[in-house]
Structure 1
Amino acid sequence: MLRRHRSAYLLAAPSLVVLAAVFVGAMLTLLEYSFHEYVPGGADIPGTLATWAEFLTSGYHWGVVAETVRLGLFSTVVAALVGYPTALALHRIRRPGWRYAGLFVIFAPLLTSVVARTYGWELVLGDSGLLNGVLGGLGLGPVELLYQRSAVVIALVHILLPFMVFPILSSLGQLDPALDEAAGDLGAGALRRFVKVTLPLTAPGLLAGAQLVFALSISSFATPSLLGGGRVNVLATDIYDNVNNVDWPLAAVSSYALLILAVVALAIFGWLQRRTARAEQGGVTAAGAASRGVRGWGVWLALVYAFVLLPLAIIVVNSFSSVSFGTWPPPGFSTKWYANLFEQDGLGEAAMLSLQVALIATVITVAIGTAVATALVRYRMPGRSVIQSLVLSPTVVPKVAFGFAGFIFLHRLGLFGGTAGLVATHVVIMLPFVVIVLTAALMRADATLEAAAKDLGAAPFRAFRLATLPQVRPALIAAALFAFVVSFDEVDMTVFLLAPDQNTLPVWMFVYMQKYQDPTLAALSTLLIGAALIVAGLVALLLLRSGILATKKGNNE
C-alpha cells in the first residue's frame, strides 16, 4: 500500500511543483503587493493598508464592482434564455450525426480567436454595420449599440454560449423518461410537464452553466475593452488601466477584488446546487430520456446557428472589402487586405512566438497532466481531494488577476520578458482542462488490462503504454489540441506578461484593433477561422472516438 501511495505522489509531483512554484507563488506575491501604496513620482511604500482603504472608500471603485456584477448577471441571464432551449432542441434530435453537427456549430466559434469574434461583432453592431444597414433599409434605424453594455453582453453570450449549452444537455441526457410519461398520463400538458418535471430535474445543469458563464463574463477583459470603448468599466479593464498608470498596488487590490467576487459567486452557485441536489434525490428508474424529434424546434436552432455563425461570416465577407472602413454591404471586392496583412511589421514574430509558447506549453501540460490524472483515477491515496482541488484551482482565479500576478512575480524572479515565464504561466491555465478531459477518459478505460500486463511482468510505465494509452489516445490528442488552442488564443493573461518588444498573435490583433479599423484584421481573422474549424472538427472526432461524447443507444433511438 505504501508503495502504491508513493507511486501516486510521484505521478502528481510535477503538477504540484509547477502549481506551487508558479501559481501559488504568483498569487502570494500579488497579495503582498496589495499592501503597498503607490505615490506619484515613483515612490512605493510597503506594509500599508492605504490602497485597500482607497479602494473600499471610493465610490468610483464600487461603481466598477457594480458594473462587473451587472455585466455578469445580464450575460448569464441572456445565455440561459438562449442556451436552455438550444440544449433542449439539440437533445430532441434523433440522429446522432445531426446532433453532433449542431454541437460542432455551437462549439466551433469557441476555438476561434476571441479578438476575431469581438471584431466580428464590431462589424455587425457598428454605426455602418450589418444591423444598422438592415434597420435603415426598414426605416427603423440607426440604433447605437456599439460601445454600450448591450454590445458587450451580446458578444459575451456568443462567446460563452457553449458553456451554458453543454451542462444543460448533459442533464437532459440523464432525465428519467418515466417521470415525464407519468405526468402526461395524469393529464399534465406539455408546459406543465416542463415546469414541474423537466426544469427542476435539469436545474443542476442550468446552474452549472450559469456558474461558468458568470465567472467567465466577470473576468473577461478583451471583449469589454474593445466593444465597451471606455464606457463599460469593469474590474478587468480597471486592472489593465491601473497597470498602464503604474499604480501596481491598486491593480493588485482590484485583482483580489475580482477574485473575491469570483469566489463569492462560486459559493452562491455551490449552495444553490446543493439545494437542488437535495430536492431532486430519489434515483432514476430507467435509462436516460429518449430523443423525441425536433418538430418545431428546427426554426429555433436555425436562428441560434445564425447568431453563432453571423459574426464569423461577416468577417470573411469584410476581408474582401474594397474600402478601409467597416460598412455593410461592402461597396466592392478586393484582396488587397490579404496582401497588406503580410506587410505588417511584427506579425511574423508574433505568430512564431505564439506557436513556440503554445507548442512547448502543450507538450509539458499533456505530460504532467496525464501523470496527475492517472494518479487521481487509479490511486486512492491520502490527500487525493486536496491534490485535485489544487490542480483545478486555476479555473477559479480570473486570468486577468493571474496575469498581473505573474507580471509582478516574474519581475521579481528576473524572468519577465522571456519565453520561460510565458510557458510556465500558460501551463498553469491549461493544466485543469487537460486533467478534466483525461480523467474522464481514464475512468472509461479498462483498468484490468493494465493490471494483467503488470501480472505478466511488465513494468508500470510499459504496462500503461501498452494497455491504457491506446484506450485514451483519442482523448489525449483532443486534450493536446484543446490545450494548444487555449494557449495560442490567450489574451487576457498574456497581455500583462509581454515585454515592450514582444507580441503574441492574439495580443498583436488586440493592439491592432485598438489602433486601426481596416479589414486587415478581417483577413487575418478569416485565416484563423479556417484553421480553427479544422481543429474543431479534429477535436470533435477524437472526443467521439474516445467515448467522452458517446451516448447510450437508447438515447438516440
Structure 2
Amino acid sequence: MIVPILFVVATAFTEGETLRFPPEGLSLRWFDEATSYQPFTDALLSSLQLALLATVLALAVGIPATLAIMRGRLPGRSLVEGLFLSPLILPELVVGLALFQQLMLQLELDNFQALLIGHTALLLPYAVRVTGASLVLADPALEEAARGLGASPLRTFFTVTLPVLRPGIISAALLSFVTSFNNVPISLLLQSRDFRTLPVTMLDYVQQNYTPIIAAMSTLLLAATVVLAVVAERILGFARIFGGINR
C-alpha cells in the first residue's frame, strides 16, 4: 500500500514535464509551481475553512451525544449510537446524492451550506466514537465524587469530565479535520464554481493535465498529514485513546 505513494513522492522531485517514473533528474520546481498555482491556493483556503467549521460543529453535536449515550439513561441507546455511526456504513456517494436532492433541490441551500451539513454529518462518527473511547477509560467515580462534594452538574463537567475527555476531543478533532479536508465524494457532488475544495480541484486538474505539479501538491499534503499525526501521537498517544473503542 505504501509503494504507490513512494512513486508519487519520487515523481514530485522530477525535472521532467510529465509524470514519469523514475524521475528525470531532481528538482524542486514543481513544489514552487504547486504553491503558486492560484486554483490550488484558493481551493486550499476553502478546504481549510470548510474542514475547520465542520469539525467544530461535529464536536459541538458529538460531545453532548457521547455523554448522553455513555453516561445518561437514554432510551434506545444502541439505536441512537447506531444512527450516529451510520455515516461510516453508507457509501459517501449515496450520502452526497441524498444531500444534493434534499438540501440543494428541495431546500435550495447554497453549495457551502450543503457542504457544511454534509461534512458535519460525515464527521459525527469520529466525534462520538473517539470521545466515547476516552470516556470509557475514565473512572465514573470521579464524577460521582465531585457531585457528592457539592459540585453542580455544570461544574462537574468543566472540572472533571472535560479534562478527562480532552485527549479524545483533540484526537477526534484531528481525525475529523483530516477526513473533511481529504473528502472527495460529497465535495464533488455538492461543489460549485464559487466554492471548490482542494481534492476536487486536484481531481479536475489531473483529468486535463499530466504535469508533476499534482504529485508535488500530493506530497505536500502527505507530509503535512504525517507531521500532524506524529505530533498528535507524541502529545496524546493515539494507541491509549483508541484502546477504549472496543470496550
User: Quick check: 1:414 aligned with 2:108?
Assistant: yes
Counterpart selection for 1:479 from 172, 180, 183: 172
Rounded Cα–Cα distance in structure 2 between residues aligned with 1:336 and 1:545? 36
Rounded Cα–Cα distance in structure 2 between residues aligned with 1:413 and 1:381? 31
What TM-score do the two structures reach when normalised by structure 1?
0.42
Unaligned segments of structure 2, at least 5 residues:
none
User: Quick check: 1:401 aligned with 2:75?
Assistant: no
SS at match of 2:145: helix
The answer to whether the 8 Å contact 1:312/1:529 transfers is no
Name the residue aligned to 2:73. Answer: 380
Rounded Cα–Cα distance in structure 1 between residues aligned with 2:62 and 2:220? 31
Counterpart selection for 1:350 from 36, 43, 68: 43
The CA deviation at 1:339 is 2.5
User: Quick check: 1:509 aligned with 2:169?
Assistant: no
Alignment map for 1:442-481 (pairs within 5 Å)? 442-481=135-174
The answer to whether the 8 Å contact 2:40/2:202 transfers is no
Larger Rg: 1 or 2?
1
Larger RCO: 1 or 2 (CA < 8 Å, sep 6+)? 2
Alignment map for 1:48-447 (pairs within 5 Å)? 158=1, 308=2, 310-411=3-104, 412-417=106-111, 419-447=112-140
Q: Could you tell me which amino acid in structure 2 is paired with residue 311 of structure 1? A: P
What TM-score do the two structures reach when normalised by structure 2?
0.91
- Give the CA RMSD over aligned residues: 1.9
Counterpart selection for 1:544 from 201, 216, 237: 237
SS at match of 1:547: helix
The answer to whether the 8 Å contact 1:416/1:498 transfers is no
Q: Could you tell me which amino acid in structure 2 is paired with residue 424 of structure 1? A: I
The answer to whether the 8 Å contact 2:87/2:121 transfers is yes
In structure 2, the CA distance between the partners of 1:405 and 1:542, relative to structure 1 (3 Å rule), is farther
SS at match of 1:493: helix
The CA deviation at 1:456 is 2.2
Q: Deviations over 1:24-71 (max 9, x none)?
A: xxxxxxxxxxxxxxxxxxxxxxxxxxxxxxxxxxxxxxxxxxxxxxxx
Q: Could you tell me which amino acid in structure 2 is paired with residue 453 of structure 1? A: A
Percent identity over paired residues: 37
The answer to whether the 8 Å contact 1:319/1:526 transfers is yes
Rounded Cα–Cα distance in structure 2 between residues aligned with 1:496 and 1:487? 14
Counterpart selection for 1:522 from 215, 220, 235: 215
The answer to whether the 8 Å contact 2:133/2:243 transfers is no
The CA deviation at 1:524 is 0.7
Unaligned segments of structure 1, at least 5 residues:
1-157, 159-307, 552-557
Q: How many residues align?
A: 243
Rounded Cα–Cα distance in structure 1 between residues aligned with 2:164 and 2:238? 10
